[in-house]
Structure 1
């Protein structure tokens, strides 16, 4: 296989998410349930803050330290479940200056309190641990640490954990439904290196033992998999877009190249502000951090490893040439700040809320810079990466995503809903309102469906059901009649109804197709009939 085909195949397993089992899967284990489900040991408390204080030793590929976990008790809590991969050693878990008893089951840690914590109280524990965390063989497609060196021989360390779980390197409630309201990340690294984490740098401290501690603070809600460390011999430069600080951390020999290449960020922000609304984490700023792997959407510290190339490692996922006009990793991973980081799915089964919307931001940026026609052509082009063999939505409660189609089938679904609206002003108002309404929240597919459905007289529920909960596309069946064309839908959803725009004799016509045969009076033959496939992603079938 050539390199481009390999890239496409990898992307089909989703950028950064291939480590999670997909949907239509039945052999789930107890470990899957412990990770993916919500039981009283998890729902009985609401995380308020993580305060990580770690020492990272690149030569040993070793980390050690603690996480102070602050929380509110929402129900009387005799036992708390946290998560930490079983290969990591627990030193102690301290509450009120006393060690707590705990039991480990797979990657779950069940902590027993001497007396149940009372509903309505606020509390904290400090969890001390150490170990050699899992190493990623091919980040970000598998989760773990990347222990690398730069061209000058300096340690260069990154981490990618989405799907696999943040608990592979620090203890937390590893479920997307609960985000801490803030986080502090204190990381000690060998002198001469820098650690870049999420949020703002609050201090740099020489520990006088050969290590320097870099402390960062996030003041907005943040998902566990977004909390991150990036260690290297970084050089920093910065600029502003409106009231937003833009900071860049790159390797020294790429500094001048980065200053030129990252100029695209301002164009991107101008577009996203217009179409999606203001950057959702202004207090924490925006960063691009050069990493030894391709990229990830780490909140306010976006990982960048696209080698300063346009497209996706110099390739165009759409096959149209349009994807070579911009840097895929800058646009896609930054788009996640709005969709995935600010708006987060409660269960990873609904990850299309992250990936479908973020993939659509690629078309949004294209439209801002090069016009709607190019955006539509790009969206049509990326359909070549859609398999239509399994569902976009995964299985709930077992830490299972849906298929990689969540990316580009999801983005084409959104584009099609825009076409159903048939009113661009209404569409962009709705899109911005959705982004604002659910800012800094965890939500479900049902909430997303209801939001977009409420803004139009067309019932979108059959559309959502077919595209999200079934693998195949709806088929517009056509038959030639006398001076008319007959049409109807064939779909998995028995009640499937959706308007579709077709072109007959160079005129665009909207057919309000249903499962029942209907007719359109015309003297034209079927070979003069064409679906507007730039805006509608369907199949057609001509019957005798």
Structure 2
């Protein structure tokens, strides 16, 4: 393997004459991820991405060779991948044979290569692309992504990638879709020898070329293309072995800047094991125990890069009792990496369910009061401008558009999950979550693989688990912008309640009513209910805050804050 890697380094250093002039800016197509795949992309599986990338900090450029293996599932005559037009492509090969310049093109960042034959189902082809140039600089990582070229406090280069919204094609040729998860990626990251390059998956060793450059080698399986990440800097590593409640053990690693306060590093690392235990107890076994649980300090806030989550929260301490960013990104190993949304319109399955793990963890650590505090903050921060689930295919990042739900995919998604849990009970709720994430209710190390899910999949799982029709709940919360309104009217000694949703559809959400401390549950079967109330009785609707609904006090707060 090392002989081949050394040869790759030579090839990177001796790039042939340029075959194509790069575009000055990334195209609008490139800056959208999860767009519809080309027919040729739907006709193949993505078996292997072997990426040899030299990162040159002085010029803020990369020089790379990508060797990609695909297997046809239907007849196909060309291979199609995405690669930012900013890069100069210096050579293209298929199965080791050079492809002439008139047989490939990269308009707007979608590279199409003629194979020269028809692949039939079951046949494989290897596409090799040599490219170089200045990758897009992230305007505001991780929300507006690309490369982050920074400097560590000790003066060395500190570099990271964060490309969730814009996609993997910002620095390597890929099928830029969550539906094109790579079965395996082998990474060979060549950097100045004074720097380290922690990345995804298992560490396969380093090659010091003796010329001031070193190649770091990693291999990861079943990985979403945007989760592949470069991290380069003056790192030190702390590590330990985690003993799982499922009987297996695996490494925990934190790659931090050498200049960091050792006490802060130790305090953060001490949070790894309790967080893992919470997720394993709540959802199921850590999905990538055959590789590692890894975290790397980055010059941007954070991102769920599988087995090497980006952490840039600066060791900040707040009243949660845990580092919220560390916990949130770790949640994505389950909600995002193990279970991946079928389309960006289902992105709340990543972010909403991942966000709900935070108040649950607060309660796990410190009791119900701390869970309720976090839930209340989520409610206060809702925007309720656009539905969380539109029912139409969306591109990644579109949730941040002017017509997108924005942070509601996090906050309303989490609050919807909480209301669902309060309605169906802990046993049914957590079995549904486990089944959603693993494809089975009884996951154990070695008996599951990654899955892809839609909102409808989750509805189907919950309904099968409970034996109840619950489509109305998801429609009322996620497919409407406005929160359900609980109308109240009082005549004599009768309090009448009724639900109104954004689309006027039925909403039979039961509601608890406390009258002078005595709690009664109104079934609200047809969206209506009544209860007797004595004069001057103290009435409290939903005293334990189980149900997400429009609250006047929050609307008043939000209106005065805006």
Superposed, which structure 2 residues align to 1:46-445 within 5 Å?
Answer: 46-100=45-99, 101-218=103-220, 220-242=221-243, 243-254=249-260, 256=262, 257-311=264-318, 321=319, 323=320, 325-394=321-390, 395-396=392-393, 398-399=395-396, 400-401=398-399, 402-403=404-405, 404-421=407-424, 423-437=425-439, 440-445=450-455
Distance (whole Å) between structure 2 residues aligned to residue 520 and residue 200 of structure 1: 61
Q: Greater shift after overlay, 98-107 or 408-417?
A: 98-107
Give 2:547's aligned residue: 536
Q: Does 1:455 align with 2:431?
A: no
SS in 1 for 2:355: helix
**TM-score in terms of structure 1 length:** 0.88
> Larger relative contact order (C-alpha < 8 A, sep ≥ 6)?
1
Shift of 1:330: 0.8
Q: 1:231-266 deviations in whole A, cap 9, x for unaligned?
A: 011111211220121011111121612022220111
Q: 1:62-91 deviations in whole A, cap 9, x for unaligned?
A: 101111111221111123321011111212
Distance (whole Å) between structure 1 residues aligned to residue 131 and residue 305 of structure 2: 23
Q: Greater shift after overlay, 359-368 or 452-461?
A: 452-461
Q: Greater shift after overlay, 437-446 or 127-136?
A: 437-446
Shift of 1:433: 3.3
Shift of 1:524: 5.6
User: RMSD of the TM alignment (CA)?
Assistant: 2.2
Q: Does 1:501 align with 2:512?
A: yes
SS in 2 for 1:513: coil
Distance (whole Å) between structure 1 residues aligned to residue 431 and residue 348 of structure 2: 21
Shift of 1:540: 5.8
**TM-score in terms of structure 2 length:** 0.85
Give 1:492's aligned residue: 502
Pick the aligned partner of 1:468 from 478, 483, 491: 478
1:217 to 1:95, Cα distance in 2 relative to 1, 3 A = same
Distance (whole Å) between structure 2 residues aligned to residue 485 and residue 437 of structure 1: 45
Q: 1:131-176 deviations in whole A, cap 9, x for unaligned?
A: 1000012211210111111111101101110011110111100001
Q: 1:438-465 deviations in whole A, cap 9, x for unaligned?
A: 7511221111121122222442201101
Cα pair 1:32 1:398 within 8 Å, conserved: no
Can you give the 5+ residue segments of structure 2 that lack an aligned partner in the other structure?
1-26, 244-248, 441-448, 553-562
Cα pair 1:477 1:540 within 8 Å, conserved: no
Cα pair 1:332 1:359 within 8 Å, conserved: yes
Distance (whole Å) between structure 2 residues aligned to residue 48 and residue 447 of structure 1: 26
Distance (whole Å) between structure 2 residues aligned to residue 146 and residue 415 of structure 1: 36
Q: Greater shift after overlay, 160-169 or 256-265?
A: 256-265
1:448 to 1:516, Cα distance in 2 relative to 1, 3 A = closer
Give the 4+ runs in structure 1 shifted more than 3 A: 28-35, 397-402, 514-518, 524-527
Distance (whole Å) between structure 2 residues aligned to residue 412 and residue 273 of structure 1: 22
Cα pair 1:193 1:234 within 8 Å, conserved: yes
